[in-house]
Structure 1
Amino acid sequence: MRRISFSASSSATLRRSRRHHLRLAGRDDPLFSDDAAPAIHQSSCGHPRAVNNLAIQALIAVFTDGKAIVDECSTCAAISEVMTE
C-alpha cells in the first residue's frame, strides 16, 4: 500500500479550499467568521486532516448552540474538544 502525505497548507490556500467546497455544497455566503478560520489554521498548524477535524467539531458546536455561522466561541469549543481527545 502506498502512503500519501500532505504538507501543511497556508492560511490563504485553506481559505480558497474552504470557499470552493462550500460553493460545491451550494453555499455562497460565509460559514466561518473572520476570527474563526485563522484560529482553526493556527491550532491545526495547517495540516489538512487537523483542519478538517477542527472544522467539523466547530460545525457541531454551532449546530448545538443554534447558531448560523462558526464564530470564535464555537471554534474555541472545537479546539478544546479535539485537543483533549
Structure 2
Amino acid sequence: MLMLRELTTLADLGLIGLVLDWRARLGKLLHGPEPTLAQATRAAVAVGGLQDCALQFPDAPEDDLRRAAVDAACAALGLDRHS
C-alpha cells in the first residue's frame, strides 16, 4: 500500500527509482529483454493503470475491480485476456 498511496514518502526515501526499475523489469518480462518504446509504454500504462484503479476505486467490490482492472491492463498491453 505504501507504493500505491504514499508517493511523497517514496520520493523522500529515494525509492521512486526502484519503483520505476520494477516497472521496466515488468516490461522486459512481458516483451523480452529489449522492448520497443511502444511495448515499454504499454507495460507502463498497464502497471500504472492497475495502481491507479486501486486508488481511484477503493470502495468497489474487490472481485469486480480486479476483473475490470486486469481487463483494462490486458487491453493496454494488446492482449485478449479471454482467448
Common fold, TM-score beyond 0.5? no
TM-score of the superposed pair, with normalisation by structure 1: 0.31
More helix by share: 2
Larger Cα Rg: Structure 1 or Structure 2?
A: 2
Higher RCO structure (Cα 8 Å, ≥6 apart)? 1
